[in-house]
């Protein structure tokens, strides 16, 4: 049985999604495959870790991840005020005590984490550049990628340790960065 908070989250996405530009029309039409993919982000993250979700937008993957893994402390980082306001509303409405919303440029975020999620944000190298100031090494970046994911991993000089096909040519890729890169 699905967690009722996932159903409530879908209701919130549908209610505010188009007005606040929270997700693509395709996601708003049929959000369940995207929620299932978001839940896969939990697989490479050990119990009790802190996670930074970069460019949280409408809350994918951060909110489903927080619902599925209450042991994680998740920060949803979103620079756009309207989207951050939606995230605050969703966190409150869903009773997610393990989630904080950071409304600002992630490059100015002052926390430290070893796990970073980023869905539809940028290449692994670009995500790493904007979060390396917050890195606790070894750092793990987790993102949904297309068939060219291996080139992104190689360009960063990192090691992919978790790859899961999500269907439609997409993969969930987790890579480990052992020490700071320049």
Tell me the CATH number at 113: 3.40.50.150
Please name the residues in contact with 19: beta carbons below 8 A apart, sequence gap of 6 or more. none
**62-106 residue pLDDT tens:** 999 999 999 999 999 999 999 999 999 999 999 999 999 999 999
Number of domains in the chain: 1
User: 153 in a domain, yes or no?
Assistant: yes
Confidence (pLDDT) at 87:
98
Q: Which residue do the tokens 């489903």 mark?
A: 64
Domain containing 144 equals: 4-177
Q: Would residue 55 count as lying in a domain?
A: yes
Q: Is 55 annotated as a binding residue?
A: yes
98 is a domain residue: yes
pLDDT of residue 110: 96
User: In the prediction, which pLDDT does 114 show?
Assistant: 96
Q: CA–CA separation, 55 vs 70, rounded Å?
A: 21
Mode of pairing for the β-strands spanning 73-78 and 159-167: unpaired
Reported confidence tier of residue 182, pLDDT bands at 50, 70, 90:
confident
Tens digit of pLDDT for each residue in 2-13? 799 999 999 999
Question: Does 103 reside within a domain?
Answer: yes
Tell me, yes or no, whether 86 lies in a domain.
Answer: yes
Predicted structure pTM score = 0.94
Please indicate if the annotation marks 60 as binding a ligand.
Answer: yes
- For residue 182, being part of any structural domain is answered with no
**Does residue 135 contact residue 110 with C-beta atoms inside 8 Å?**
no
């Amino acid at each position: 049985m699905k967690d009722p908070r996932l159903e409530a989250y879908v209701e919130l996405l549908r209610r505010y999604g188009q007005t606040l530009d929270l997700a693509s029309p395709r996601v708003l039409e049929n959000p369940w495959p995207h929620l299932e993919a978001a839940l896969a982000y939990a697989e490479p993250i050990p119990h009790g870790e802190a996670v930074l979700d970069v460019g949280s937008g409408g809350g994918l993957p951060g909110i489903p991840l927080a619902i599925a893994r209450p042991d994680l402390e998740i920060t949803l980082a979103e620079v756009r005020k309207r989207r951050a306001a939606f995230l605050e509303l969703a966190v409150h409405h869903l009773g997610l005590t393990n989630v904080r919303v950071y409304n600002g440029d992630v490059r100015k975020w002052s926390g430290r984490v070893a796990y970073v999620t980023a869905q539809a944000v940028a290449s692994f190298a670009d995500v790493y550049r904007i979060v390396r100031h917050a890195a606790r090494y070894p750092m793990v970046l987790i993102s949904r990628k297309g068939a060219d994911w291996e080139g992104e991993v190689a360009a960063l000089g990192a090691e992919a340790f978790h790859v899961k096909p999500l269907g439609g040519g997409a993969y969930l890729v987790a890579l480990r960065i052992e020490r700071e890169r320049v």
